[in-house]
C-alpha cells in the first residue's frame, strides 16, 4: 500500500512533535525531494534516514543533499 507521507504530516497539529524514520531501500531520495517540494520536510522535528547508495539514474544524491542543506541552514 502506498501512502502520501506529506498528507499525513500536514494532518498533525503544529504543536505536535513529529519524528520520522526512513528506511525505504533507495526510495528515500525521491521521498525527501517530494517532501521538500510539498513544503512538509520543515515540519519534521526529528528525522533519521538510512541512505542507500544504489539509487536509480533519475535520483541524484547531490541534488537531495543540496536541497536539504538549503532547507535547514
In a 10 Å sphere around its CB, with 0-12 CB exposed, 13-18 middle and 19+ buried, how is residue 64 labelled?
A: buried
User: Among 22, 12, 9, 16, which Cα is nearest to 48's?
Assistant: 22
User: Among 63, 71, 1, which Cα is nearest to 30's?
Assistant: 63
Q: What is the pLDDT of residues 51-66, one digit of tens each?
A: 776 655 655 666 777 7
Q: What is the pLDDT of residues 29-46, one digit of tens each?
A: 888 888 988 999 889 999
Name the percent of the chain lying above pLDDT 90: 30
Amino acid at each position: 500500500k502506498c501512502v502520501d507521507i506529506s498528507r499525513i504530516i500536514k494532518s498533525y497539529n503544529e504543536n505536535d512533535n513529529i519524528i520520522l524514520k526512513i528506511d525505504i531501500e533507495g526510495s528515500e531520495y525521491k521521498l525527501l525531494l517530494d517532501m521538500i517540494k510539498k513544503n512538509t520536510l520543515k515540519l519534521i522535528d526529528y528525522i533519521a534516514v538510512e541512505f542507500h547508495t544504489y539509487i536509480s539514474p533519475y535520483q541524484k544524491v547531490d541534488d537531495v543533499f543540496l536541497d536539504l542543506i538549503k532547507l535547514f541552514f
